[in-house]
Structure 1
């Protein structure tokens, strides 16, 4: 079999091109392959870490887009930093739960492919998912918000897939579920926020 590696992390292409300091992770099942990628791609401005949790890196890179959509919705609703910080933190918790249920390592989601890329994508103005979320929060329906966009907004399809996986593996993904309801059931973003805040009270760390 041909060895493969996955490169992921908080890395807007424009900033990498401008040689701004950036850190990412290269994951391969064979750590020697990940280390080889690390050596090839690392420069004075592009630092690569190595890992073996390919599944976790791939899942983190996909699922963070759903939370970025939600973060954009909050901004579009005019909500402040407290709300967005809570959303990002709880979003990381739920994508970690799903990742672990699928066989990924929990530590991966606290790293560059998870927390790092989530913070970037949920707050950065270059994030397509974040920008779409803003428009949805401002009241645009999905079809109108997507119209004229040349690039794919990955979080839209990922939201549907995440909810389906959560059902299959009996994992609670309250934020992803509300994002999907806004996207596909025309639920009002403000109502989605209210429903999240009114959920049954729980310990911070639960499965």
Structure 2
């Protein structure tokens, strides 16, 4: 139930943020949907759409997570007994949370998922993910099976992309999972930009 709620929260919000980033949605639509969560006075100090979206995303996810955690504790016994009254945890959240997430999903369905830009970006993300993996996986394998001295200059640069450094005692499985976590957290647009930068297309 918690994982399902986490997915619902993240995808409902991040899909719209991604849509603003690639020009499908106006930032004002994103702002109108989530600004009622409060703490929006910080938004007045920036005109950058990305910063506005990032601030609102943080506020919205924080509020949603807190609400879901509270409802999980309230309904923990019925969840464990299999007699939980709701469809999911979002279903028993406060109306403001539930209705906002439903509205976010509806907006994404209407304006984002079938938009040509989104479809093309998603299609392009598949080879982009392959490009990133083709750079990182061999570097990780060499680092952990042969040693740091065997790393090429390209491998060393690739490993520096990871937000958390590898450790010599780390197993391949956990290292590969670290890479998948890193890639899984990317938006389609970010993955596309990173793949382009790695391959040198349009740069060199």
TM-score by length of 2: 0.31
Greater strand fraction, Structure 1 or Structure 2: 1
Bigger Rg, structure 1 or 2:
2
